[in-house]
Amino acid sequence: MRDRASRGYARTMNRIERHGHGGLARLRYLDGDFQVLTPGSFVRCAVTGLDIPLDELKYWSVALQEPYVDAAASLSRHRPGKTGG
Domain segments of the chain: what residues?
2-77
Per-residue confidence (pLDDT) for residue 59, from 0 to 100: 97
pLDDT tens per residue, the chain (85 residues)? 445 445 554 444 444 444 456 899 999 999 999 999 999 999 999 999 999 999 999 999 999 999 999 999 999 998 876 554 4
CB 60 within 8 A of CB 34: yes
Predicted structure pTM score: 0.69
Per-residue confidence (pLDDT) for residue 8, from 0 to 100: 52
Per-residue confidence (pLDDT) for residue 25, from 0 to 100: 98
Per-residue confidence (pLDDT) for residue 82, from 0 to 100: 57
Cβ contacts of residue 45 below 8 Å, gap of 6+? 51, 52, 67, 68, 69, 73
